[in-house]
Chain A
Protein backbone atom coordinates (compact mmCIF):
# COMPACT_ATOMS: atom_id res chain seq x y z
CA UNK A 1 0.00 0.00 0.00
CA UNK A 2 1.27 3.51 -0.85
CA UNK A 3 1.91 5.73 2.10
CA UNK A 4 2.66 9.42 2.56
CA UNK A 5 4.42 10.40 5.81
CA UNK A 6 3.33 7.04 7.16
CA UNK A 7 -0.31 7.61 6.21
CA UNK A 8 -1.92 5.32 3.62
CA UNK A 9 -2.62 7.52 0.58
CA UNK A 10 -6.12 6.07 0.21
CA UNK A 11 -6.97 7.33 3.69
CA UNK A 12 -5.27 10.67 3.08
CA UNK A 13 -7.04 11.37 -0.20
CA UNK A 14 -10.32 10.05 1.16
CA UNK A 15 -10.25 12.49 4.06
CA UNK A 16 -9.03 15.35 1.91
CA UNK A 17 -11.94 14.78 -0.48
CA UNK A 18 -14.36 14.72 2.42
CA UNK A 19 -12.75 17.93 3.60
CA UNK A 20 -13.15 19.45 0.17
CA UNK A 21 -16.85 18.53 0.17
CA UNK A 22 -17.41 20.05 3.58
CA UNK A 23 -15.42 23.01 2.29
CA UNK A 24 -17.77 23.33 -0.68
CA UNK A 25 -20.68 23.75 1.74
CA UNK A 26 -18.73 26.11 4.00
CA UNK A 27 -17.91 28.19 0.94
CA UNK A 28 -21.50 28.36 -0.35
CA UNK A 29 -22.89 29.21 3.08
CA UNK A 30 -20.24 31.70 4.09
CA UNK A 31 -20.53 33.34 0.67
CA UNK A 32 -24.24 33.96 1.29
CA UNK A 33 -23.49 35.26 4.78
CA UNK A 34 -20.80 37.55 3.38
CA UNK A 35 -23.09 38.94 0.67
CA UNK A 36 -25.84 39.60 3.25
CA UNK A 37 -23.51 41.05 5.86
CA UNK A 38 -21.86 43.29 3.29
CA UNK A 39 -25.00 45.12 2.26
CA UNK A 40 -27.40 44.63 5.19
CA UNK A 41 -24.86 44.73 7.99
CA UNK A 42 -26.84 41.90 9.56
CA UNK A 43 -25.29 38.67 10.75
CA UNK A 44 -27.87 36.25 9.42
CA UNK A 45 -28.19 33.70 12.20
CA UNK A 46 -31.07 32.02 10.38
CA UNK A 47 -28.72 31.03 7.55
CA UNK A 48 -28.37 27.46 8.82
CA UNK A 49 -32.13 27.08 9.16
CA UNK A 50 -32.58 28.37 5.60
CA UNK A 51 -30.00 25.85 4.37
CA UNK A 52 -32.01 23.14 6.14
CA UNK A 53 -35.19 24.52 4.54
CA UNK A 54 -33.51 24.15 1.14
CA UNK A 55 -32.84 20.47 1.81
CA UNK A 56 -36.42 19.96 3.02
CA UNK A 57 -37.79 21.86 0.03
CA UNK A 58 -35.94 19.37 -2.18
CA UNK A 59 -37.28 16.46 -0.14
CA UNK A 60 -40.88 17.71 -0.17
CA UNK A 61 -40.72 18.61 -3.87
CA UNK A 62 -39.73 15.01 -4.58
CA UNK A 63 -42.05 13.22 -2.15
CA UNK A 64 -45.16 15.34 -2.59
CA UNK A 65 -44.86 16.84 -6.06
CA UNK A 66 -42.66 14.32 -7.79
CA UNK A 67 -40.12 16.98 -8.78
CA UNK A 68 -36.72 15.36 -9.32
CA UNK A 69 -33.31 16.51 -8.09
CA UNK A 70 -32.62 18.84 -11.03
CA UNK A 71 -36.00 20.49 -10.68
CA UNK A 72 -35.40 20.91 -6.96
CA UNK A 73 -31.98 22.44 -7.61
CA UNK A 74 -33.78 25.31 -9.38
CA UNK A 75 -37.07 25.45 -7.47
CA UNK A 76 -35.89 25.08 -3.87
CA UNK A 77 -33.63 28.18 -3.99
CA UNK A 78 -36.48 30.15 -5.60
CA UNK A 79 -39.02 29.05 -2.98
CA UNK A 80 -36.74 29.57 0.01
CA UNK A 81 -35.37 32.79 -1.51
CA UNK A 82 -38.94 34.10 -1.79
CA UNK A 83 -39.49 33.15 1.85
CA UNK A 84 -36.35 35.14 2.71
CA UNK A 85 -37.65 38.15 0.79
CA UNK A 86 -40.89 38.07 2.78
CA UNK A 87 -38.91 37.92 6.02
CA UNK A 88 -36.71 40.83 4.92
CA UNK A 89 -39.64 43.02 3.84
CA UNK A 90 -41.90 42.32 6.80
CA UNK A 91 -39.39 42.05 9.66
CA UNK A 92 -35.74 42.87 8.97
CA UNK A 93 -36.48 46.10 7.09
CA UNK A 94 -37.76 47.54 10.37
CA UNK A 95 -34.45 46.96 12.13
CA UNK A 96 -31.88 48.69 9.91
CA UNK A 97 -31.89 51.89 11.90
CA UNK A 98 -31.48 50.05 15.18
CA UNK A 99 -28.47 48.47 16.84
CA UNK A 100 -27.24 45.40 14.89
CA UNK A 101 -27.98 43.27 17.96
CA UNK A 102 -31.68 43.39 17.02
CA UNK A 103 -30.97 41.85 13.63
CA UNK A 104 -28.99 39.16 15.34
CA UNK A 105 -31.80 38.45 17.82
CA UNK A 106 -34.43 38.38 15.07
CA UNK A 107 -32.53 35.99 12.82
CA UNK A 108 -31.54 33.78 15.75
CA UNK A 109 -35.16 33.62 16.90
CA UNK A 110 -36.31 32.83 13.38
CA UNK A 111 -33.78 30.00 13.18
CA UNK A 112 -35.14 28.46 16.39
CA UNK A 113 -38.74 28.79 15.19
CA UNK A 114 -38.03 27.32 11.75
CA UNK A 115 -36.07 24.42 13.23
CA UNK A 116 -38.77 23.78 15.80
CA UNK A 117 -41.50 23.68 13.16
CA UNK A 118 -39.59 21.19 11.03
CA UNK A 119 -38.71 19.06 14.07
CA UNK A 120 -42.37 18.99 14.96
CA UNK A 121 -43.40 17.76 11.53
CA UNK A 122 -40.52 15.51 10.55
CA UNK A 123 -38.82 14.40 13.76
CA UNK A 124 -35.06 14.37 14.20
CA UNK A 125 -34.11 11.14 12.50
CA UNK A 126 -32.75 11.92 9.07
CA UNK A 127 -34.82 11.44 5.94
CA UNK A 128 -33.15 9.80 2.94
CA UNK A 129 -32.69 11.60 -0.35
CA UNK A 130 -31.19 9.54 -3.14
CA UNK A 131 -28.60 11.05 -5.44
CA UNK A 132 -29.82 11.20 -9.04
CA UNK A 133 -29.06 8.04 -11.08
CA UNK A 134 -26.53 9.77 -13.31
CA UNK A 135 -24.13 9.87 -10.34
CA UNK A 136 -24.42 6.15 -9.43
CA UNK A 137 -21.10 5.06 -10.92
CA UNK A 138 -18.07 6.26 -8.93
CA UNK A 139 -15.17 7.96 -10.69
CA UNK A 140 -11.95 5.90 -10.88
CA UNK A 141 -9.19 8.47 -10.45
CA UNK A 142 -6.36 5.94 -10.30
CA UNK A 143 -5.05 7.04 -6.90
CA UNK A 144 -8.54 6.85 -5.40
CA UNK A 145 -12.21 6.16 -6.07
CA UNK A 146 -14.41 9.24 -5.90
CA UNK A 147 -18.19 8.97 -5.63
CA UNK A 148 -19.48 10.90 -8.64
CA UNK A 149 -22.05 12.87 -6.67
CA UNK A 150 -19.32 14.26 -4.41
CA UNK A 151 -17.32 15.37 -7.43
CA UNK A 152 -20.44 17.11 -8.73
CA UNK A 153 -20.95 18.95 -5.43
CA UNK A 154 -17.41 20.30 -5.51
CA UNK A 155 -17.71 21.44 -9.13
CA UNK A 156 -21.19 22.92 -8.69
CA UNK A 157 -20.15 24.81 -5.58
CA UNK A 158 -17.02 26.17 -7.27
CA UNK A 159 -18.99 27.31 -10.32
CA UNK A 160 -21.68 29.04 -8.22
CA UNK A 161 -19.06 30.71 -6.01
CA UNK A 162 -17.04 31.96 -8.98
CA UNK A 163 -20.17 33.16 -10.81
CA UNK A 164 -21.21 35.08 -7.70
CA UNK A 165 -17.75 36.57 -7.32
CA UNK A 166 -17.73 37.56 -11.00
CA UNK A 167 -21.16 39.18 -10.76
CA UNK A 168 -20.22 41.21 -7.72
CA UNK A 169 -16.72 42.24 -8.81
CA UNK A 170 -17.02 42.59 -12.58
CA UNK A 171 -20.53 43.65 -13.61
CA UNK A 172 -22.39 46.93 -13.33
CA UNK A 173 -24.99 45.32 -11.06
CA UNK A 174 -22.13 44.27 -8.81
CA UNK A 175 -20.68 47.79 -8.92
CA UNK A 176 -24.02 49.16 -7.74
CA UNK A 177 -24.06 46.58 -4.97
CA UNK A 178 -20.52 47.44 -3.85
CA UNK A 179 -21.33 51.14 -3.95
CA UNK A 180 -24.48 50.59 -1.86
CA UNK A 181 -22.40 48.60 0.64
CA UNK A 182 -19.97 51.48 0.94
CA UNK A 183 -22.37 54.43 1.00
CA UNK A 184 -26.09 53.67 0.60
CA UNK A 185 -27.10 57.31 1.09
CA UNK A 186 -25.00 58.46 -1.87
CA UNK A 187 -26.29 55.62 -4.06
CA UNK A 188 -29.88 56.64 -3.25
CA UNK A 189 -29.01 60.20 -4.16
CA UNK A 190 -28.23 58.95 -7.68
CA UNK A 191 -31.77 57.60 -8.03
CA UNK A 192 -31.10 53.95 -7.27
CA UNK A 193 -33.68 52.05 -5.23
CA UNK A 194 -31.46 50.83 -2.40
CA UNK A 195 -34.20 49.13 -0.32
CA UNK A 196 -35.10 46.99 -3.32
CA UNK A 197 -31.43 46.16 -3.84
CA UNK A 198 -31.20 45.14 -0.19
CA UNK A 199 -34.27 42.91 -0.48
CA UNK A 200 -33.01 41.17 -3.61
CA UNK A 201 -29.56 40.72 -2.10
CA UNK A 202 -31.02 39.08 0.96
CA UNK A 203 -33.17 36.87 -1.25
CA UNK A 204 -30.08 35.90 -3.24
CA UNK A 205 -28.03 35.08 -0.12
CA UNK A 206 -30.89 32.95 1.18
CA UNK A 207 -31.23 31.21 -2.20
CA UNK A 208 -27.52 30.30 -2.00
CA UNK A 209 -28.15 28.69 1.39
CA UNK A 210 -31.11 26.76 -0.04
CA UNK A 211 -29.03 25.64 -3.02
CA UNK A 212 -26.41 24.32 -0.60
CA UNK A 213 -29.23 22.52 1.21
CA UNK A 214 -30.37 20.71 -1.93
CA UNK A 215 -26.77 19.82 -2.82
CA UNK A 216 -26.30 18.47 0.71
CA UNK A 217 -29.50 16.40 0.79
CA UNK A 218 -28.05 13.26 -0.88
CA UNK A 219 -24.82 13.43 1.19
CA UNK A 220 -26.00 14.24 4.68
CA UNK A 221 -29.47 13.01 5.52
CA UNK A 222 -32.21 15.64 5.47
CA UNK A 223 -32.93 16.57 9.07
CA UNK A 224 -34.05 19.65 11.00
CA UNK A 225 -30.75 20.02 12.87
CA UNK A 226 -28.49 19.91 9.84
CA UNK A 227 -28.31 23.71 9.67
CA UNK A 228 -27.60 24.23 13.34
CA UNK A 229 -24.75 21.71 13.13
CA UNK A 230 -22.95 23.34 10.24
CA UNK A 231 -23.66 27.03 10.84
CA UNK A 232 -21.35 27.44 13.84
CA UNK A 233 -18.42 26.26 11.74
CA UNK A 234 -19.55 28.52 8.90
CA UNK A 235 -19.50 31.52 11.22
CA UNK A 236 -15.94 30.64 12.16
CA UNK A 237 -15.13 30.48 8.44
CA UNK A 238 -16.64 33.93 7.90
CA UNK A 239 -14.68 35.36 10.81
CA UNK A 240 -11.42 33.83 9.55
CA UNK A 241 -12.01 34.99 5.97
CA UNK A 242 -13.04 38.49 7.01
CA UNK A 243 -16.61 39.70 7.40
CA UNK A 244 -18.14 40.73 4.11
CA UNK A 245 -15.25 39.65 1.86
CA UNK A 246 -16.65 37.66 -1.07
CA UNK A 247 -13.54 35.98 -2.39
CA UNK A 248 -12.24 35.60 1.16
CA UNK A 249 -15.24 33.59 2.24
CA UNK A 250 -14.96 31.24 -0.76
CA UNK A 251 -11.22 30.58 -0.43
CA UNK A 252 -11.44 30.25 3.34
CA UNK A 253 -14.41 27.88 3.06
CA UNK A 254 -12.57 25.42 0.84
CA UNK A 255 -9.24 25.80 2.66
CA UNK A 256 -10.75 25.16 6.08
CA UNK A 257 -12.63 22.12 4.79
CA UNK A 258 -9.26 20.76 3.67
CA UNK A 259 -7.67 21.60 7.03
CA UNK A 260 -10.44 19.72 8.77
CA UNK A 261 -9.95 16.70 6.50
CA UNK A 262 -6.21 16.73 7.05
CA UNK A 263 -6.66 16.93 10.81
CA UNK A 264 -8.92 13.88 10.68
CA UNK A 265 -5.98 11.93 9.26
CA UNK A 266 -3.24 13.30 11.46
CA UNK A 267 -4.95 13.88 14.78
CA UNK A 268 -8.64 12.88 14.59
CA UNK A 269 -9.43 14.05 18.13
CA UNK A 270 -8.86 17.68 17.07
CA UNK A 271 -10.85 17.55 13.83
CA UNK A 272 -13.94 19.22 15.23
CA UNK A 273 -12.01 21.98 16.99
CA UNK A 274 -9.26 22.74 14.51
CA UNK A 275 -11.26 25.46 12.74
CA UNK A 276 -11.87 27.29 16.00
CA UNK A 277 -8.20 27.06 16.92
CA UNK A 278 -7.36 28.58 13.53
CA UNK A 279 -9.99 31.26 14.15
CA UNK A 280 -8.37 32.26 17.44
CA UNK A 281 -4.91 32.32 15.86
CA UNK A 282 -6.10 34.43 12.91
CA UNK A 283 -7.97 36.88 15.14
CA UNK A 284 -4.84 37.38 17.25
CA UNK A 285 -2.75 38.25 14.18
CA UNK A 286 -5.36 39.81 11.85
CA UNK A 287 -8.43 40.97 13.79
CA UNK A 288 -10.26 41.79 10.53
CA UNK A 289 -9.79 38.30 9.14
CA UNK A 290 -7.47 37.11 6.38
CA UNK A 291 -9.22 39.01 3.58
CA UNK A 292 -11.12 41.61 5.58
CA UNK A 293 -10.66 45.33 5.20
CA UNK A 294 -10.10 47.41 8.30
CA UNK A 295 -13.41 48.65 9.65
Chain B
Protein backbone atom coordinates (compact mmCIF):
# COMPACT_ATOMS: atom_id res chain seq x y z
CA UNK B 1 0.00 0.00 0.00
CA UNK B 2 2.67 2.51 0.92
CA UNK B 3 4.67 3.54 -2.06
CA UNK B 4 6.66 6.15 -0.25
CA UNK B 5 10.12 5.38 -1.46
CA UNK B 6 12.65 7.47 0.30
CA UNK B 7 13.14 9.60 3.37
CA UNK B 8 12.86 12.84 1.43
CA UNK B 9 9.35 12.04 0.26
CA UNK B 10 8.27 10.96 3.70
CA UNK B 11 9.32 14.24 5.22
CA UNK B 12 7.51 16.21 2.55
CA UNK B 13 4.31 14.21 2.98
CA UNK B 14 4.70 14.70 6.71
CA UNK B 15 4.99 18.46 6.27
CA UNK B 16 2.04 18.66 3.91
CA UNK B 17 -0.09 16.73 6.37
CA UNK B 18 0.99 19.04 9.17
CA UNK B 19 -0.17 22.01 7.11
CA UNK B 20 -3.44 20.26 6.34
CA UNK B 21 -4.10 19.39 9.96
CA UNK B 22 -3.21 22.89 11.01
CA UNK B 23 -5.61 24.35 8.48
CA UNK B 24 -8.44 22.06 9.53
CA UNK B 25 -8.10 22.99 13.18
CA UNK B 26 -7.75 26.67 12.45
CA UNK B 27 -10.84 26.58 10.31
CA UNK B 28 -12.86 24.86 13.00
CA UNK B 29 -11.56 27.20 15.65
CA UNK B 30 -12.23 30.29 13.59
CA UNK B 31 -15.71 29.13 12.76
CA UNK B 32 -16.52 28.73 16.43
CA UNK B 33 -14.89 32.06 17.17
CA UNK B 34 -16.97 33.88 14.58
CA UNK B 35 -20.09 32.42 16.04
CA UNK B 36 -19.14 33.37 19.55
CA UNK B 37 -18.22 36.88 18.39
CA UNK B 38 -21.75 37.34 17.08
CA UNK B 39 -23.18 35.94 20.29
CA UNK B 40 -20.91 38.12 22.36
CA UNK B 41 -22.07 41.17 20.48
CA UNK B 42 -25.68 40.33 21.24
CA UNK B 43 -24.84 39.84 24.88
CA UNK B 44 -22.83 43.03 25.02
CA UNK B 45 -25.66 44.99 23.50
CA UNK B 46 -28.17 43.45 25.88
CA UNK B 47 -26.04 44.38 28.84
CA UNK B 48 -25.55 47.90 27.55
CA UNK B 49 -29.24 48.30 26.88
CA UNK B 50 -29.99 47.30 30.44
CA UNK B 51 -27.38 49.69 31.75
CA UNK B 52 -28.72 52.57 29.72
CA UNK B 53 -32.27 51.82 30.79
CA UNK B 54 -31.21 51.75 34.43
CA UNK B 55 -29.39 55.04 33.93
CA UNK B 56 -32.42 56.60 32.30
CA UNK B 57 -34.72 55.50 35.13
CA UNK B 58 -32.28 56.82 37.68
CA UNK B 59 -32.01 60.20 35.99
CA UNK B 60 -35.77 60.48 35.57
CA UNK B 61 -36.15 59.78 39.27
CA UNK B 62 -33.54 62.39 40.11
CA UNK B 63 -35.34 64.90 37.93
CA UNK B 64 -38.56 64.22 39.80
CA UNK B 65 -36.77 64.66 43.09
CA UNK B 66 -35.27 67.96 42.00
CA UNK B 67 -38.61 69.19 40.81
CA UNK B 68 -40.27 68.17 44.04
CA UNK B 69 -37.46 69.67 46.08
CA UNK B 70 -37.26 73.02 44.38
CA UNK B 71 -40.90 73.80 43.99
CA UNK B 72 -42.95 73.70 47.13
CA UNK B 73 -46.09 75.02 48.72
CA UNK B 74 -47.66 77.93 46.89
CA UNK B 75 -45.43 77.59 43.87
CA UNK B 76 -46.40 73.94 43.53
CA UNK B 77 -50.06 74.87 43.78
CA UNK B 78 -49.68 77.55 41.18
CA UNK B 79 -47.78 75.22 38.90
CA UNK B 80 -50.48 72.58 39.22
CA UNK B 81 -53.08 75.14 38.32
CA UNK B 82 -51.11 76.38 35.36
CA UNK B 83 -50.59 72.82 34.24
CA UNK B 84 -54.30 72.15 34.44
CA UNK B 85 -54.93 75.32 32.48
CA UNK B 86 -52.39 74.33 29.84
CA UNK B 87 -53.97 70.93 29.47
CA UNK B 88 -51.17 68.98 31.08
CA UNK B 89 -53.46 67.18 33.49
CA UNK B 90 -56.70 65.32 33.03
CA UNK B 91 -59.67 67.21 34.40
CA UNK B 92 -62.98 66.08 35.76
CA UNK B 93 -66.20 67.87 36.51
CA UNK B 94 -69.76 68.65 35.54
CA UNK B 95 -70.37 69.03 31.88
CA UNK B 96 -71.82 67.57 28.75
CA UNK B 97 -70.94 64.81 26.33
CA UNK B 98 -71.90 65.56 22.75
CA UNK B 99 -71.87 62.82 20.15
CA UNK B 100 -72.15 63.76 16.51
CA UNK B 101 -72.22 61.28 13.66
CA UNK B 102 -72.59 61.47 9.89
CA UNK B 103 -76.09 61.59 8.47
CA UNK B 104 -77.63 58.29 7.49
CA UNK B 105 -80.03 60.00 5.10
CA UNK B 106 -79.42 59.28 1.45
CA UNK B 107 -78.55 62.37 -0.49
CA UNK B 108 -81.26 63.39 -2.91
CA UNK B 109 -80.47 63.22 -6.59
CA UNK B 110 -78.31 66.12 -7.66
CA UNK B 111 -77.48 67.07 -4.11
CA UNK B 112 -73.99 67.31 -2.75
CA UNK B 113 -73.25 64.34 -0.54
CA UNK B 114 -70.75 66.41 1.37
CA UNK B 115 -73.60 68.27 3.02
CA UNK B 116 -74.58 65.15 4.94
CA UNK B 117 -71.28 64.46 6.62
CA UNK B 118 -69.51 66.26 9.41
CA UNK B 119 -66.78 68.66 8.44
CA UNK B 120 -64.04 70.35 10.33
CA UNK B 121 -66.07 73.55 10.13
CA UNK B 122 -69.01 71.98 11.92
CA UNK B 123 -66.77 70.80 14.70
CA UNK B 124 -65.14 74.20 14.89
CA UNK B 125 -68.52 75.83 15.27
CA UNK B 126 -69.50 73.43 18.03
CA UNK B 127 -66.23 73.98 19.86
CA UNK B 128 -66.49 77.72 19.45
CA UNK B 129 -70.04 77.65 20.81
CA UNK B 130 -68.94 75.59 23.79
CA UNK B 131 -66.10 77.97 24.53
CA UNK B 132 -68.42 80.91 24.29
CA UNK B 133 -70.71 79.19 26.78
CA UNK B 134 -67.86 78.95 29.26
CA UNK B 135 -66.56 75.44 28.76
CA UNK B 136 -63.43 75.08 30.86
CA UNK B 137 -61.94 72.03 29.18
CA UNK B 138 -62.87 70.40 25.92
CA UNK B 139 -61.74 67.17 24.35
CA UNK B 140 -62.56 65.81 20.93
CA UNK B 141 -62.40 62.02 20.62
CA UNK B 142 -60.00 61.94 23.53
CA UNK B 143 -57.83 64.77 22.17
CA UNK B 144 -57.62 67.65 24.59
CA UNK B 145 -58.15 70.94 22.84
CA UNK B 146 -55.57 73.50 23.88
CA UNK B 147 -54.56 76.86 22.49
CA UNK B 148 -52.57 75.38 19.64
CA UNK B 149 -54.96 72.55 18.77
CA UNK B 150 -56.11 72.55 15.19
CA UNK B 151 -59.33 71.19 13.74
CA UNK B 152 -58.69 70.71 10.11
CA UNK B 153 -60.06 68.65 7.26
CA UNK B 154 -57.70 65.97 5.91
CA UNK B 155 -59.51 63.87 3.35
CA UNK B 156 -62.24 61.84 5.01
CA UNK B 157 -60.88 62.48 8.49
CA UNK B 158 -60.33 65.45 10.73
CA UNK B 159 -56.93 66.40 12.04
CA UNK B 160 -56.81 67.33 15.72
CA UNK B 161 -53.56 67.70 17.63
CA UNK B 162 -51.83 66.21 14.59
CA UNK B 163 -53.92 63.08 14.92
CA UNK B 164 -56.53 61.88 12.47
CA UNK B 165 -60.00 61.42 13.88
CA UNK B 166 -63.03 59.98 12.15
CA UNK B 167 -66.76 60.12 12.81
CA UNK B 168 -68.48 59.61 15.17
CA UNK B 169 -67.05 62.51 17.11
CA UNK B 170 -67.46 62.59 20.86
CA UNK B 171 -66.92 65.95 22.46
CA UNK B 172 -66.47 66.16 26.22
CA UNK B 173 -66.79 69.59 27.70
CA UNK B 174 -66.52 70.60 31.33
CA UNK B 175 -68.62 73.58 32.33
CA UNK B 176 -72.11 74.46 33.46
CA UNK B 177 -74.12 71.64 31.83
CA UNK B 178 -77.25 73.72 31.48
CA UNK B 179 -75.48 76.64 29.82
CA UNK B 180 -73.52 74.40 27.53
CA UNK B 181 -76.55 72.47 26.42
CA UNK B 182 -78.73 75.48 25.81
CA UNK B 183 -75.98 77.27 23.91
CA UNK B 184 -75.79 74.35 21.52
CA UNK B 185 -79.53 74.06 21.17
CA UNK B 186 -80.17 77.71 20.44
CA UNK B 187 -82.77 78.31 17.82
CA UNK B 188 -80.88 78.58 14.54
CA UNK B 189 -77.83 77.36 16.41
CA UNK B 190 -75.37 74.65 15.69
CA UNK B 191 -77.42 71.59 16.47
CA UNK B 192 -80.50 72.80 14.65
CA UNK B 193 -78.39 73.24 11.57
CA UNK B 194 -77.15 69.69 12.01
CA UNK B 195 -80.67 68.35 12.33
CA UNK B 196 -81.58 69.83 9.00
CA UNK B 197 -79.04 67.63 7.24
CA UNK B 198 -79.79 64.60 9.39
CA UNK B 199 -76.47 64.73 11.16
CA UNK B 200 -76.97 62.96 14.44
CA UNK B 201 -76.16 65.02 17.49
CA UNK B 202 -76.77 63.78 20.98
CA UNK B 203 -76.18 65.89 24.08
CA UNK B 204 -75.89 64.14 27.41
CA UNK B 205 -75.51 66.10 30.61
CA UNK B 206 -73.28 64.44 33.12
CA UNK B 207 -72.05 65.11 36.63
CA UNK B 208 -68.69 63.61 35.90
CA UNK B 209 -67.09 64.36 32.58
CA UNK B 210 -63.45 63.42 32.25
CA UNK B 211 -61.28 65.38 29.84
CA UNK B 212 -57.90 63.73 29.27
CA UNK B 213 -54.57 65.54 29.34
CA UNK B 214 -52.92 66.87 26.21
CA UNK B 215 -50.67 64.16 24.84
CA UNK B 216 -49.06 65.79 21.82
CA UNK B 217 -45.77 67.57 21.91
CA UNK B 218 -45.36 71.28 22.10
CA UNK B 219 -42.04 72.70 21.22
CA UNK B 220 -41.34 76.34 20.59
CA UNK B 221 -39.20 76.38 17.50
CA UNK B 222 -39.32 80.10 16.80
CA UNK B 223 -40.89 81.69 19.81
CA UNK B 224 -38.87 82.40 22.91
CA UNK B 225 -39.71 84.35 26.04
CA UNK B 226 -39.44 88.09 25.40
CA UNK B 227 -36.60 89.88 27.16
CA UNK B 228 -37.27 92.79 29.49
CA UNK B 229 -36.24 95.34 26.90
CA UNK B 230 -38.53 94.17 24.14
CA UNK B 231 -41.34 93.90 26.64
CA UNK B 232 -40.81 97.51 27.67
CA UNK B 233 -40.82 98.64 24.06
CA UNK B 234 -44.09 96.88 23.48
CA UNK B 235 -45.53 98.44 26.62
CA UNK B 236 -44.42 101.91 25.50
CA UNK B 237 -46.19 101.61 22.18
CA UNK B 238 -49.31 100.63 24.02
CA UNK B 239 -48.98 103.56 26.39
CA UNK B 240 -48.74 106.14 23.63
CA UNK B 241 -51.91 104.90 22.03
CA UNK B 242 -53.65 104.83 25.37
CA UNK B 243 -52.52 108.36 26.13
CA UNK B 244 -53.93 109.60 22.86
CA UNK B 245 -57.23 107.96 23.58
CA UNK B 246 -57.27 109.68 26.92
CA UNK B 247 -57.14 113.09 25.24
CA UNK B 248 -60.89 113.17 25.47
CA UNK B 249 -60.65 114.08 29.10
CA UNK B 250 -60.86 111.37 31.77
CA UNK B 251 -58.25 111.98 34.39
CA UNK B 252 -56.75 109.02 36.02
CA UNK B 253 -53.40 110.63 36.54
CA UNK B 254 -52.62 108.58 39.59
CA UNK B 255 -53.11 105.38 37.69
CA UNK B 256 -51.29 106.62 34.64
CA UNK B 257 -48.47 108.04 36.67
CA UNK B 258 -46.73 104.76 37.03
CA UNK B 259 -47.19 103.96 33.37
CA UNK B 260 -45.93 107.39 32.40
CA UNK B 261 -42.66 106.69 34.16
CA UNK B 262 -41.50 104.48 31.33
CA UNK B 263 -43.36 106.10 28.45
CA UNK B 264 -41.78 108.53 26.01
CA UNK B 265 -41.80 112.30 26.33
CA UNK B 266 -44.62 112.82 23.87
CA UNK B 267 -47.04 110.78 25.90
CA UNK B 268 -45.93 112.39 29.14
CA UNK B 269 -46.52 115.81 27.63
CA UNK B 270 -49.96 114.88 26.43
CA UNK B 271 -50.79 113.52 29.84
CA UNK B 272 -49.71 116.63 31.57
CA UNK B 273 -51.84 118.60 29.22
CA UNK B 274 -54.58 116.20 30.02
CA UNK B 275 -54.42 116.63 33.77
CA UNK B 276 -54.03 120.38 33.38
CA UNK B 277 -57.17 120.63 31.27
CA UNK B 278 -59.19 118.80 33.87
CA UNK B 279 -58.05 121.01 36.67
- The reply to whether chain A is a binding partner of chain B is no
> Taking beta carbons and an 8 Å cutoff, which residues of A are in contact with B?
none
